């Protein structure tokens, strides 16, 4: 049986993992390759790495850090931030990533999803989208609007319409990031996560707001997600106590959510 995935997410600035709240006030946590190694050793299922300033600084992604992480991590590794072209994607894959996450760039140039899927297969392209509950109104029938550039810029695009278009263009996974819940430890936005999971036929990743094992379980059951992104719960200094992967997986098993079994070593 296919199990649910627990994905550790890194917001990286200059090779360092940082932690934000609602896409702001990033505080320093650790070197990306050191934290990736620690979490790999702790049997995390997957790692996603966002070079969060590449896009706004109009520069290419930090390939040295991608390479350093890829050398230590033998579970799937997704990279996003500052991807503008097929050549950028190719470089990131050659640096050792499995998947490319596109977000703001895909909103500006949706065809990059199609081109990426054609060149590298749809399983390689994750459409990540920053969504905010704005209420149902003209042009936003789902009540959730797509934002870009670190949640700073509204697009006027409806979240559900966008993810359906992205999946049709070739995205192999959809990651739903709730701007309202990011870094709040108040749980995923289950409404939009479930709506997206019902609207597309590709795996959906819940993101933004996981503070407890129960939140993760909710995202993977009520939210309909195939995978859950976590960060604070694993390593945020703002948390009184961080949890290890085993503790999270044991907790999920108790709640009836199957994950890859933790191996005794």
Partner 1 sequence: MIAVVDYRAGNAPSVIFALERLGIPCRLASRPDQLEHAERIILPGVGAARATIDSLRDSGLVEPLSERVLGAGVPFLGICIGLQVLFDHSEEGDVEGLGWIPGQVRRFADTLRVPQIGWNAVQPTQPHPLWGDVAQPAYCYFVNSYYAVPADSSDVLATTEYGIEFCSMAVRANIAATQFHAEKSGQLGLALLANFAVWDGRTGATSPSC
Residues binding partner 1 (CB under 8 A): 1-5, 40, 43, 45, 70-71, 74-77, 90, 93-96, 98, 118-124, 172-173, 201-203, 226-227, 259-261, 263, 265
Task: Provide, rounded to whole angstroms, the least separation between the CB of residue 153 and partner 1.
Answer: 30
Whether the CB-CB separation of 234 and 242 falls below 8 Å is answered with: yes
What phi, psi does 113 have (nearest 5°)? -65, -50
Of the pair 102, 107, the CB lying nearest partner 1 is at 102
Separation CA 84–CA 248 (nearest Å): 36
The minimum distance between CB 56 and partner 1, in angstroms, equals: 28
| Residue 96 C-beta: closest distance to partner 1, Å | 5
- What's the min distance (Å) between Cβ of 87 and partner 1? 12
Q: Which is nearer to partner 1, 105 or 124 (CB)?
A: 124
Nearer to partner 1, 173 or 182 (CB): 173
The gap between the terminal CA atoms of the chain, to the nearest Å, is 23
Which structure tokens are listed for 241? 């106590």
| Residues 226, 210: Cα–Cα separation, whole Å | 15
Strands 125-133 and 144-148: antiparallel
Would you say 72 or 84 has its CB closer to partner 1?
72
Please name the residue that has the structure tokens 């799937």. Answer: 76
Q: Which is nearer to partner 1, 43 or 101 (CB)?
A: 43
User: Do residues 85 and 112 make contact, with C-beta atoms less than 8 angstroms apart?
Assistant: yes
CB of 66 to partner 1, least distance (A): 10
Residue 37 or residue 212: which is nearer to partner 1 going by CB?
A: 37
Quote the DSSP letter at residue 137: B
Least Å distance, CB 53 to partner 1, is 25
CB of 202 to partner 1, least distance (A): 6
Provide, rounded to whole angstroms, the least separation between the CB of residue 23 and partner 1.
26
Closest CB to partner 1 among 31 and 75?
75
């Amino acid at each position: 049986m296919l199990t649910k995935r627990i994905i550790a997410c890194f917001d990286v600035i200059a090779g360092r993992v940082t932690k934000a709240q609602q896409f702001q006030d990033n505080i320093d946590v650790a070197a990306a390759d050191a934290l990736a190694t620690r979490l790999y050793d702790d049997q995390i299922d997957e790692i996603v790495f966002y070079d969060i300033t590449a896009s706004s600084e109009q520069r290419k992604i930090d390939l040295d850090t991608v390479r350093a992480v890829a050398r230590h991590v033998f579970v799937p590794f997704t990279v996003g931030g500052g991807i503008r072209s097929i050549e950028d994607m190719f470089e990131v894959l050659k640096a050792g990533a499995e998947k490319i996450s596109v977000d703001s760039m895909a909103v500006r140039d949706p065809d990059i999803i199609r081109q990426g899927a054609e060149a590298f297969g749809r399983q390689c392209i994750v459409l990540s989208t920053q969504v905010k509950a704005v209420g149902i109104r003209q042009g936003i029938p789902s009540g959730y609007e797509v934002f870009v550039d670190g949640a700073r810029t509204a697009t006027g695009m409806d979240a559900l319409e966008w993810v359906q278009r992205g999946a049709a263009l070739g995205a192999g996974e959809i990651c739903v990031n709730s701007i309202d819940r990011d870094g709040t430890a108040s749980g995923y936005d289950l409404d939009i996560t479930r709506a997206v999971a019902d609207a597309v036929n590709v795996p959906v990743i819940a993101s933004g707001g996981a503070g407890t094992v129960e939140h993760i379980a909710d995202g993977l059951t009520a939210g309909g997600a195939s995978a859950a992104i976590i960060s604070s719960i694993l390593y945020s200094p703002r948390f009184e106590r961080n949890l290890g992967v085993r503790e999270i997986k044991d907790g999920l098993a108790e709640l009836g959510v199957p994950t890859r079994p933790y191996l005794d070593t």
